Structure 1
């Protein structure tokens, strides 16, 4: 290993290779693989009778082995006098027709169109790093000159991006066809193999330049070629295979319980994502039965966003309960068809051993695990694009509880459910159905949204927080409750407030008109005089209301997501918790009013900063973390900061526990206006039980 180049610059230095081969001595250096590994693809593109120019031959045995199997017209060139002398001496008697010449590959003495093939094993990689690729371009120009029409440049390479880009752009400009084979690594030799896969670049010369680039990728020596439109797409495919090679090397040699390594498997025909595999290892010292080395857990369709499968901690708990040394968690993708569990297992089986833990025998059986042996069920009912939020889809899924749900998902963050509602048989549907056998063609028409069921746990906490207003108590009977809610989503939270909280009026502010349309069309959102929607920027609406000074609210709720995924806070956007906005929210509240904030922040420093700013304006704060989620709901009172905020918070907490029973009683059975009674499914007392004083 110490003989390998230490830097990319050394890699293309003639002096380096002189030192390398003198130190290497008699032992052949099989850079990127020997004849046995390469023969399949070499025989595919180089005929036995072809005149072949071997560029940068080194002291590899490749030419000798090709000569022995019938290739008698090989011209080997190398810049190193040492290696040329050695190779000629080594083959003088056994292979008198095999010639080695000291020639600079950028300035060869050979006639135009005098060879049918040029073979390069690692030379392009060595030369491309010098002088910004000038040497490599010179070599490729010589290759193009000495090859005849129909001739092929066959290059064995590690496919560093700059190297492949240089070669592909060069030959595309000449109108040649370009094909790249990614060779399969040999199993069982992880300690000796490169982490990166070996590629074979095949560029074919045409009599007339091709009008449009021909770019193809093949997996293995015999893999079907996949046509790609642009050089950038070919480079992306190379990066994927390299990343996979590094991942396989890492997984077959080490274990790391905290790594959460993942990869996406795509359909070869379409390139569309089909499975995402996440690797979860047990921590060191865990007591795992010897037979429990490796297993694959298949996540039911529609459940991939659940905390247990989408979060690092959830996956750790899943792996601990499964009790395998390594668990690979496989999630299926939207817009893909999966017939049954057996078909999924058959698809994944060829990939399984690539991800096995170190030392596991290649012939060991790997079990597939699932929840009840069920693939789950998913039906996409709508798809569209929002100028503000990007591509979205609305889908019906079957939860692990057997119930059906409707979800809004923005595909820019497909692991996050934007909005979710439970589905129940519609009033017009009297036919009994087995939910496990719901057929997508008939399901949507016979289902309706249950407005009394809040799927999001943080929404339940936000509703329970209204107990601070004394809603439902005898002294507040008939007293109006006004709510300003920023963020509509599917409309589940505001509809619940309108349908079940007595004497409430709700104004919702929503920036995206597409979200409003989706809420109406797919989540049965029905605004009226008690539930109004203002389309526009939430910050601007807060500023306008504060300037107007003629409207106050008993509750201001922030449930608005952040579109910038680079920030460690996904709810709300940072501008909503700046001091100036928090001050305006404070002034918009009635004397009894509360500010309810859904905070989703993974950055501990940022979270602390937000909490400090909120506390500066709202000295009395109660908080509740949502189990199994990052969400934390803050209930903030506008009481004066007189140094007794902690005492005030404890008084508020005590009164909330008493008022919770009144609020629970107020959430009565109600009609949704169509003659159907809806029941509010919420336990206020339980939700308030875990509130903490901040």
Structure 2
């Protein structure tokens, strides 16, 4: 039996509904869920003695079930005489005090201020099928009549799918009238509602007298029934909050019915109180894994501070993690800074409901889903400082506990929270970074928390940076590339070399060169004066007669130097990031690898000079273009891929006569490594130059 209308406009036609209910007979038709789905919100706003008007009642059982639990002053109206007669007959004996009347809600016959509650379940959605002038006039009449028959302090409860044009019209209309607006996202309870893809919302509009010069609109969102309402600043924010939940429902439906099919699917859940991000979920599917009862689904909690590591912070890394875990679907969960997490157990308890909404199709209802992690705890993240750069935006300095148990200091720009801009290893007693008062607060908790020290605090003596340790593998590879400066005796640490390093960060790369290469002179170019301040204050960077920082635009500085013919360097290094994360190349900015600019770089190099570039590019076509530009300027280019990272290091020379074979590179690497390991000088044993050069290839 086909009951669907030929066009959406028929939903507002009395003739359509007469035919609909004749064909359907006495079987109840429930739009947007049953009484079980809505009772929690209804009971919150409707008192048992309230006079309730249900507009567009249809043959829903909602009024009947409300009546049966104590709401016995209910008046129902509908434009269909057929359904009104059906409902009168159905309720005449069991519910004698409940009335059903054929009436057009746009021209109601009730007196003013007669009801404390007007309830609509789906009627507004049926009327406002478009935004034509005629439809908008009908909606305005509906709203005006509802406002007329409601008492001051009364409530209009509108149950709706909240399509964008409908939600915008309703919220704008009543908020402009001075009515507070609160939106509830309805949790699915009944089987009927669970079969419905789109979420259902209840809009609560409370009638206030419109006062001239009234203050700020009251707009609130309640995502869950036990939540405190979240106050929002504007209609746009409220509508966006509704839209986010609709998008989540569509995504959840897609994921529960099938696979993410290689898509990069991520969702961010916010803190109920502050509205700030609390968890980010990454859905990673492995279609090749055959599902069993034990490998269908798992949740992986990334410890605080480690979300920037390649395996957790990139799509490629998470795919590798999922492949290693061997689950058909792995949900990777990142924890956000500025949020308090008591323990791993508390996180599991908090997430248990949400993560199951993202379980794959066919997961048995009694399936125990494992929570996985590394290190056994939620990690440590101590925010030491917050700042704002005019060039780079907001940033944080934070200390995190690494997998090896050591503590590391990070500089992170909040415009790209998955990338550590600079990193330094703290010496062993450097983890004692919080005040006594805050330490006591931390010790009272079972878990580790995100603690923020005073913004005006300075590094204490116990916060020394281990300057001999290069945290970043790409920095290690850039140092290893210096062996290409070798002569017949090999390149030694006391060789006289001049370097131009573009991009300072925390200063660890130029400082390492300064400390380990005793005859080196270094010009470091940094566009952002705030970064120089950060490096000096938080990473123990300092300048002297062999190392200086020039605060300038690297592009302009190099062009000017090249055009004036005043510069000559043995080595030019680019370790500069792009602030535009949409380009597909995060290091360097595209202008730094433009062919014409690379010619300027070439002109700054001594005849046996070396250009070293840190390249981070995920766009294959863009990478090919960059490589073509580099090879057109430098006839000899070596490539060093960094295992487990996106970074690739390019070593570029001016002549193919300098070409070195793999054996030559290994020998040169061993000579330099041995020379750097001088008696009395600390050397990190994990840093093996020779081994690092094994995989260098010529491109």
TM-score normalised over the length of structure 2: 0.88
1:183: Cα distance to partner? 1.5
1:203: Cα distance to partner? 1.0
Per the alignment, residue 179 of structure 1 pairs with: 182
Counterpart Cα distance in 2 of 1:85 and 1:649: 97
Per the alignment, residue 623 of structure 2 pairs with: 607
1:617-638 Cα offsets, whole Å, 9 max, x none, are: 1122111221111111111112
The 1:260–1:130 alpha-carbon spacing in structure 2 relative to 1, beyond 3 Å, is: closer
8 Å CA contact 1:510, 1:516 repeated in 2: yes
Counterpart Cα distance in 1 of 2:184 and 2:318: 35
Which of 146-155 and 163-172 deviates more?
A: 163-172
8 Å CA contact 1:18, 1:82 repeated in 2: yes
8 Å CA contact 1:453, 1:680 repeated in 2: no
Match of 1:200 among 202, 226, 233: 202
Match of 2:342 among 327, 336, 339: 339
Counterpart Cα distance in 2 of 1:69 and 1:384: 57
Counterpart Cα distance in 2 of 1:539 and 1:7: 61
1:659: Cα distance to partner? 2.5
Per the alignment, residue 228 of structure 1 pairs with: 232
Counterpart Cα distance in 2 of 1:220 and 1:663: 63
Q: Alignment partner of 1:245: what SS?
A: helix
Which of 509-518 and 337-346 deviates more?
A: 337-346
Which of 172-181 and 40-49 deviates more?
A: 40-49
Q: Residue 124 in 1 paired to residue 124 in 2?
A: yes
Match of 1:217 among 215, 221, 235: 221
1:83: Cα distance to partner? 4.5
Match of 1:686 among 686, 691, 694: 691
The 1:14–1:678 alpha-carbon spacing in structure 2 relative to 1, beyond 3 Å, is: farther
1:474: Cα distance to partner? 5.9
Per the alignment, residue 437 of structure 2 pairs with: none
Q: Alignment partner of 1:250: what SS?
A: helix
8 Å CA contact 1:453, 1:681 repeated in 2: no
The 1:690–1:56 alpha-carbon spacing in structure 2 relative to 1, beyond 3 Å, is: same
Per the alignment, residue 604 of structure 2 pairs with: 588
Per the alignment, residue 327 of structure 2 pairs with: 324
8 Å CA contact 1:487, 1:558 repeated in 2: yes
Q: Alignment partner of 1:108: what SS?
A: coil
8 Å CA contact 2:573, 2:613 repeated in 1: yes
1:126-150 Cα offsets, whole Å, 9 max, x none, are: 3344235443333222211221111
Per the alignment, residue 642 of structure 1 pairs with: none
Per the alignment, residue 311 of structure 2 pairs with: 308
8 Å CA contact 2:303, 2:379 repeated in 1: yes
Q: Residue 105 in 1 paired to residue 105 in 2?
A: yes
Q: Alignment partner of 1:490: what SS?
A: coil
The 1:478–1:282 alpha-carbon spacing in structure 2 relative to 1, beyond 3 Å, is: closer
1:584-610 Cα offsets, whole Å, 9 max, x none, are: 111111111122111111111111111
Counterpart Cα distance in 2 of 1:188 and 1:482: 73
1:218: Cα distance to partner? 2.2
Query: How many residues of Structure 1 are paired with residues of Structure 2 in the alignment?
Result: 674
Q: Residue 403 in 1 paired to residue 406 in 2?
A: yes
The 1:650–1:9 alpha-carbon spacing in structure 2 relative to 1, beyond 3 Å, is: farther
Counterpart Cα distance in 2 of 1:116 and 1:189: 30
1:485: Cα distance to partner? 1.2
Q: Alignment partner of 2:637: what SS?
A: strand
1:466-505 Cα offsets, whole Å, 9 max, x none, are: 1111179468896521111111111111111111124221
Match of 1:656 among 653, 657, 665: 665
Q: Alignment partner of 1:224: what SS?
A: coil
1:200-222 Cα offsets, whole Å, 9 max, x none, are: 11111124646332222223445
8 Å CA contact 2:160, 2:202 repeated in 1: yes
Unmatched 5+ stretches in structure 1 = 430-435, 640-644
1:154: Cα distance to partner? 0.4
Per the alignment, residue 279 of structure 1 pairs with: 283
Match of 2:390 among 376, 387, 390: 387
Q: Alignment partner of 2:464: what SS?
A: strand
Counterpart Cα distance in 2 of 1:530 and 1:360: 64
Q: Alignment partner of 1:405: what SS?
A: strand
1:155: Cα distance to partner? 0.5
Per the alignment, residue 556 of structure 1 pairs with: 572
Q: Alignment partner of 1:394: what SS?
A: strand
The 1:475–1:619 alpha-carbon spacing in structure 2 relative to 1, beyond 3 Å, is: closer
Which of 398-407 and 70-79 deviates more?
A: 70-79
8 Å CA contact 1:299, 1:330 repeated in 2: yes
The 1:63–1:439 alpha-carbon spacing in structure 2 relative to 1, beyond 3 Å, is: closer
The 1:473–1:8 alpha-carbon spacing in structure 2 relative to 1, beyond 3 Å, is: farther
1:178: Cα distance to partner? 1.5
Q: Residue 509 in 1 paired to residue 525 in 2?
A: yes
1:550: Cα distance to partner? 1.8
Per the alignment, residue 359 of structure 2 pairs with: 356
1:386: Cα distance to partner? 0.8
1:4: Cα distance to partner? 6.2
The 1:8–1:575 alpha-carbon spacing in structure 2 relative to 1, beyond 3 Å, is: farther
Q: Alignment partner of 1:355: what SS?
A: coil
The 1:188–1:292 alpha-carbon spacing in structure 2 relative to 1, beyond 3 Å, is: farther
1:295-346 Cα offsets, whole Å, 9 max, x none, are: 3222222111111212223223323333334332222211222233222223
The 1:21–1:188 alpha-carbon spacing in structure 2 relative to 1, beyond 3 Å, is: closer
Counterpart Cα distance in 2 of 1:15 and 1:583: 78
Q: CA RMSD in A?
A: 3.3
8 Å CA contact 2:641, 2:648 repeated in 1: yes
8 Å CA contact 1:468, 1:652 repeated in 2: no
Counterpart Cα distance in 2 of 1:12 and 1:415: 50
What does 1:482-561 correspond to in 2, within 5 Å?
Answer: 482-561=498-577
1:381-437 Cα offsets, whole Å, 9 max, x none, are: 11111111111111111111112111100111111111111111479x9xxxxxx99
Q: Residue 241 in 1 paired to residue 241 in 2?
A: no
1:104-145 Cα offsets, whole Å, 9 max, x none, are: 433434332222211111222333442354433332222112
Counterpart Cα distance in 1 of 2:148 and 2:494: 92
Q: Alignment partner of 2:549: what SS?
A: strand
Q: Alignment partner of 2:426: what SS?
A: strand
Counterpart Cα distance in 2 of 1:188 and 1:399: 47
Q: Alignment partner of 1:446: what SS?
A: helix
Counterpart Cα distance in 2 of 1:584 and 1:234: 52
Unmatched 5+ stretches in structure 2 = 433-446
Counterpart Cα distance in 2 of 1:650 and 1:409: 38
Match of 1:252 among 234, 251, 256: 256
1:568: Cα distance to partner? 1.1
The 1:361–1:121 alpha-carbon spacing in structure 2 relative to 1, beyond 3 Å, is: same
